[in-house]
Amino acid sequence: MTHGTELKRRPSRTRRLLSVFDGEALSPPPVWLMRQAGRYLPEYRATRSKAGGFLDLCYNPALAAEVTLQPIRRYGFDAAILFSDILVVPDALGQKVSFVEGEGPRLSPLADGKAIAALSLEGANRTFSVIAETVQRLRQDLPAETALIGFCGAPWTVATYMIGGQGSSDQATARSMAYRDPQAFQALMDLLVAASVAYLDGQVRAGADLLQIFDSWAGSLPEDEFDRWVIAPTRDLVAEMKRRHPGVPIIGFPRGAGEHAARFVRETGVDAVGCDTAMPLGQIRATLSGRTVVQGNLDPLLLVAGGARMKERVRQIVGKLGVNPFIFNLGHGIVPQTPPAHVAELVAIVRDTKQTG
Ligand code: 1CP
């Protein structure tokens, strides 16, 4: 891998996970889990209550680094993911963001082009530098063999929260605005691409080894809108990050992309694709595996259930996808009711899939 001159990294092979981006199929595959830090861990809940609000936790580098490290200490994952949130970006752009305990994020919704025009990148770097400080601490405190993942939300997914003001099952408010006023919507996409570049650039300069772009709501758009609001802004974001940091791998996670996934990979230029729970292993094997690095895709609810059924499915996933460069993960984030002991069990099962001979 080529490394940017500003990075004082160890050679990538000390971090096993990075070898998959050199085209190696590792056995057992490297493993980390989306939302591996979070409410299912008692030590997370304790740190969070010390921090005050959720954003106070994201903006406290010592505490954010601490909760990033908690699952690494417990489970020895091959990668840590920076503790922050995709909604740090709207907050940095001047939109009011808060988190209601038990209910999720609340933003003052952007009603029209005027509200979008009032947002500003000026001052955002102050917020992003606090997040970069967390990354810097992590690079010092993490074991040398643990890769550090930086991340942001994809412009489309972040926009759905900015326009809707909260999470929703159909993203109707954002989809409607995109039809009603595509020009204003495009302006928001362009602003989010620029802000996400600044957010990710700060993370890479501070020591992130690779990046993931979360497009959690990519699945709600028809094909022409998918091209315009998922593929195009992600392609712009990836192109600018590749220009600045050609050696830093980027994982795209277009949740719900289904049939669009292979085209998403080809047209955005990502180095890896996160596959969601619903994506059939046969489709992944036929259209993605061996062409790009594949990540996924155990059902988070099977991790809650645990037991023989989980073991069987893990072996099936690794058996099918582990023959090519592959990272084991869930198909979406860990849910709060997950028993921590099941996560330990899962990691043991994945590591036990090592092919001998
Ligand atoms: O009460 C709490 O402690 C808040 C729960 C929580 C956590 C642990 C939120 C609020 N964000 C996070 C951290 C987080 N969010 C990480 C940290 C690293 C890790 O994975 O361990 C990451 C990568 C995210 C990304 C994120 N935030 C996404 C994309 C991934 C996904 O789950 O689809 C999204 C959509 C968000 C918005 C968000 N932030 C928090 C919540 C509960 C949500 C989702 C709201 C919804 O369901 O619409």
| 101-143 residue pLDDT tens | 888 999 999 999 999 999 999 999 999 999 999 999 999 999 9
Which pTM was predicted?
0.95
Distance from residue 218's CA to the centre of ligand 1 (Å): 16
In Å, how far are 57, 156, 325 from 34, measured between CA atoms?
A: 18, 19, 19
Q: CATH code at 321?
A: 3.20.20.210
Q: How many helices (H) and strands (E) does the chain have?
A: 16, 9
Q: Looking at the domain assignment, is residue 3 inside a domain?
A: no
Q: Looking at the domain assignment, is residue 5 inside a domain?
A: no
Q: Looking at the domain assignment, is residue 113 inside a domain?
A: yes
Which are the contacts of 179, defined by CB distance < 8 A and separation ≥ 6? Answer: none
Kindly state the percentage of the chain with pLDDT values over 70.
96
Which are the contacts of 164, defined by CB distance < 8 A and separation ≥ 6? Answer: 109, 171, 172, 173, 174
Q: Looking at the domain assignment, is residue 1 inside a domain?
A: no
The encoded tokens of residue 9 equal: 């990294």
Q: Looking at the domain assignment, is residue 6 inside a domain?
A: no
Q: Domain tally for the chain?
A: 1
As a whole number, mean pLDDT of residues 237-242 equals 98
Q: Directed axis angle between helix 172-180 and helix 155-164, to 10°?
A: 100
Does the N-terminal peptide bond of residue 28 adopt cis geometry, omega within 30 degrees of 0? yes
Residue nearest to atom 6 of ligand 1 (CA): 38
Does residue 5 carry a pLDDT above 70? no
Q: Looking at the domain assignment, is residue 11 inside a domain?
A: no
Task: Count how many Cα atoms sit within 13 Å of the Cα of residue 47 in the half-sphere of its side chain.
Answer: 24
Domain that holds residue 191: 19-352
Residue nearest to atom 12 of ligand 1 (CA): 85
Which are the contacts of 261, defined by CB distance < 8 A and separation ≥ 6? Answer: 254, 273, 275, 279, 283, 287, 288
- Annotated catalytic residue within 40, 59, 75, 161: 161
Q: Looking at the domain assignment, is residue 4 inside a domain?
A: no
The question of whether 39 is a catalytic residue gets the answer yes
Phi (first) and psi of residue 211, to 5 degrees:
-130, 150
